[in-house]
Structure 1
Amino acid sequence: MENIIEVKGIRKVYRVGNEKVIALENIDLSIGKGEICCLLGTSGSGKSTLLNLMAGLEKPTRGEIIIKNTHVEKLDEKRLVLFRQKYIGFVFQSYNLLPNLTAMENVGLPLAFKGIPRWIRDKKSKQMLSSVGLKSHSNRKPSQMSGGQQQRVGIARAFVGNPEIVFADEPTGNLDSKTTVEVMDLITGIARKNNQTLIIVTHDTNIAGYADKIIHILDGNIEKVEFKTPSLIK
């Protein structure tokens, strides 16, 4: 399997007052193209920090992050924005929908940032909303939808530009158990269908069960890496 992400010797240190807090100690990992990977750990383990570093939302204190042969840690903010627009989608725990926009408009935002014409954005957004079961919700605003429906809009937004990589940070953290299963089936189903790389951050072992590879993170270090056999993957 071709690696699409490589992390080499990553260390992340935060300063809190006069103290240093080590969030990540010495992380090495590879994620293959089309792989569904889970970063599993308790609160404060460093899993979300690792995701943020891979996504270029933060800079490492030391080490290399290579995505599609590009050193992400060396990109300035302008080039990072363009890189994320081209290759990366995001699914957030808190949905992060703009309250004054409709579902269709929220889904179309990544396309708008790319300068794609409105009529094409609307067409693709409607297609994505239909694929996540919200065909009739195109003109509804977030306040008119349930949490599960809002997360489906968030998933449609993440995938509308057909990114090669999707980062999902606790994507079911605000959902009940039934909706959690529906959302996880949906997000992993889309990724597998399109051979997209999906990186999920969670503390929930049930969510981790959807992954091809589970990276257990403890106190800023990789504790172990667990591979799933194809027959056990949902």
Structure 2
Amino acid sequence: MSLICLKDVRKVYHVDKEKIVALSRINIAIEAQEICCVLGTSGSGKSTLLNIMAGLEKATRGSVIIDGKNVTNFSEKQWALFRQQNIGFVFQSYNLMPTMTAIENVAIPLMFKGMSKTERVKRAVHMLKIVHLGDRLLHKPTQMSGGQQQRVGIARAFISRPKIVFADEPTGNLDSKTSREVMEIMVSMARKYHETLIIVTHDREIAKYADRIITIHDGSVLSDVSNLAISDSRVNEEELSS
């Protein structure tokens, strides 16, 4: 069984008297440990698709099955618990807590697992070293560059070893060199920890890092193709060992 399965998913927004079809009968199955890119221009429906898979929005019609569970009609409370246990996020705008240090930001997901502060800090330091921020452990977001902030965000997304990591335009605010570095780190971590990584982007260069590219246009799947992913990672296996 596929890890994520969308069946006849449709999403319609009603704005005043106008009906806007954001997604039209989407059928997608994503396998465990797959690195999948949802590619599309602004307004194509790609972010809406991610939001439905992550439970941030509800489908108007259709069903969403994740890890064998029908999550289509989950309540907010059910989704919150499910995300804590199974999902990590990497955001375009980083979404770091401005008053917290890098360690504190990365450790946040572990608080929901009832882990001791000592263990949370230990794991956060380990993750930050993996993403080459061992010298920024006590820095706050305003003391870091955009690329450094995004690496903190990646460490936070992976620290609890979720089954799925969603990355929504993860390089949207970064230059090309930093984008490559961020993607190489993120893909390497997904490979090492055997996690499913779903990247949403408008950038075809970023799509090249995926095993599979699903192109969305006007709310429909335009193409769904396998891809020989870029594999020249800058993060070696030794650095990722836990």
TM-score normalised by structure 1 residue count: 0.97
The amino acid of 1:23's aligned partner reads A
Q: Distance in 2 between matches of 1:191 and 1:158?
A: 11
CA distance in 1, matches of 2:169, 2:221: 19
2:112 and 2:106 map into 1 onto residues whose CA distance is 12
Q: Which residue of 2 aligns with 1:158?
A: 157
Q: 1:112 — aligned with what?
A: 111
1:80 counterpart residue number: 79
| Corresponding residue for residue 71 of structure 1 | 70
What SS does the corresponding residue of 1:157 show, helix, strand or coil? helix
Question: Offset of 1:3 from its aligned partner?
Answer: 1.5
Give the distance between the partners of 1:125 and 1:6, measured in 2 at CA: 32
Q: TM-score, normalised by structure 2?
A: 0.94
Give the AA of the match of 1:195. Answer: H
Distance 1:228 1:145 in 2: 34
1:127 alignment partner AA: H
3-state SS of the aligned residue for 2:36?
strand
Gaps of 5+ in 1: none
Which residue in 1 is equivalent to 2:102? 103
Instruction: Indicate the residue corresponding to 1:56 in structure 2.
Output: 55
Measure, in 1, the Cα distance between the counterparts of 2:6 and 2:29: 6
Q: Is 1:206 the equivalent of 2:209?
A: no
Distance 1:37 1:190 in 2: 14
Unmatched 5+ stretches in structure 2: 232-242
TM-superposed CA distance for 1:136, in Å, is: 1.4
- Give aligned pairs, total: 231
Q: Per-residue displacement from partner, 1:97-151 (whole Å, max 9, x unpaired)?
A: 0000000000011111222211111011001001100011111100000000000
Q: Deviations over 1:46-71 (max 9, x none)?
A: 00000000000000000111000111
1:3 aligned residue:
2
> Which residue does the alignment assign to 2:13?
14
Distance 1:36 1:100 in 2: 33
Cα shift at 1:74: 1.6
3-state DSSP of counterpart to 1:135:
coil
Taking only aligned residues, the RMSD between alpha carbons, in angstroms, comes to: 0.9
Percent identity of paired positions between Structure 1 and Structure 2: 58
In 1, Cα distance between equivalents of 2:218 and 2:113: 38
Aligned match of 1:137 = 136
Which residue number in structure 1 is paired with residue 42 of structure 2?
43
Task: Report deviation, 1:214.
Answer: 0.3
Q: How big is each residue's C-alpha offset from its partner over 1:156-177, in whole Å with a ceiling of 9 and x where there is no partner?
A: 0000000010000000000001
SS in 1 for 2:149: helix
Partners of 1:40 and 1:104 in 2: how far apart? 32
SS of 1:73 mapped into structure 2 = coil
